[in-house]
Amino acid sequence: MTTTPPVPDRHEAAVSPTHLRLDAGRYAPVEITCAFICALAWPEDPLDGPDFHKRFLALVAQALRTKAESNQGWASIPQPVRPRYLQGNSQEHRASIANIDHRLLMARKVAWVGGPFVREVAAGQQHDRPSGQRRQTLMDRCRAVVAPGDMAAAKNFRRRVFEPSKPVLHLALALESLVASDRQVAQPLVSLIDQAWEPGVAQFLVKLAAGLADHVLNTRQFRVDASKQLQLDVHRWPALDT
């Protein structure tokens, strides 16, 4: 009995449930960005499991279709595309990412909740006490992303969304830094898929997330198990044009 191989390939990545290593010399920016998005949107999926693999294939295939439909010139010339993105049950793959816009919106809310605390740590201000002001709590931040006065919804968001997303909070913060100016808040994937082909976008997301990882671990308002924090390592980045 065979099992679905982890993404991207046993011979090309050192993969564990929480660690994915990619070679930027062998993977296009769109592939790296799609791996980032899938890891962020489905934090419950082990990186070496079949569900992550299926969603990754589906998202890259969607990015290819979107690019081809929006740019006929690009679609008319030879492109280095891995045939495996055409493998499998395309309907099943599309269904596997059907709720991705909602998932990415929840990831942005996770960043809105946790961001202020992580930024305090990054700035060395975690122990500062504002004069005459009560320090915000995690529940204060959760209440800010649900309907006003709905304490039950705030508790539900913390338990069902924020807590399971702590291992990818650094990814969520990187995403928010990229799309914070995007007015289409309800559809962050529209902006991401369009930008995923740019080498600078993949580098920005991966490097910023890596730089924030330790700050998240050192944030006292919420505890993150270092052994469960997701690691997305990319090596051999190409030099970017300046």
E strand or H helix at 235: strand 231-235
E strand or H helix at 55: helix 50-70
Q: Locate tokens 């079949």: which residue?
A: 50
Rounded to whole angstroms, what are the CA distances from 14 to 20, 85, 206, 215? 6, 21, 16, 25
Q: What is the pLDDT confidence band of residue 131, given thresholds at 50, 70 and 90? A: low
What does the pLDDT read at residue 234? Answer: 93
What does the pLDDT read at residue 159? Answer: 97
pTM listed for this prediction? 0.88
Q: What is the pLDDT confidence band of residue 44, given thresholds at 50, 70 and 90? A: very high
What's the DSSP call for residue 241?
P
Identity at 84, one-letter amino acid code: R
What does 112-176 look like in DSSP terms, one character per residue? HHHHHHHHHHHTT-TT---TT-PPPPHHHHHHTTSSTT-HHHHHHHIIIIIHHHGGGHHHHHHHH
Contact (CB, 8 A) for 39 and 47 = yes
What does 60-94 look like in DSSP terms, one character per residue? HHHHHHHHHHH-HHHHTS-----GGGG-S-HHHHH
Task: Measure the CA–CA gap between 138 and 63, rounded to whole angstroms.
Answer: 36
Q: Locate tokens 């700035």: which residue?
A: 123
Task: Measure the CA–CA gap between 150 and 152, rounded to whole angstroms.
Answer: 5
Of 63, 19, 22, the closest CA to residue 39 belongs to: 19
94 versus 188: the higher-pLDDT residue is 94
185 three-state secondary structure: coil
Contact (CB, 8 A) for 8 and 21 = no
* pLDDT at residue 23 greater than cutoff 80: yes
* pLDDT at residue 19 greater than cutoff 70: yes
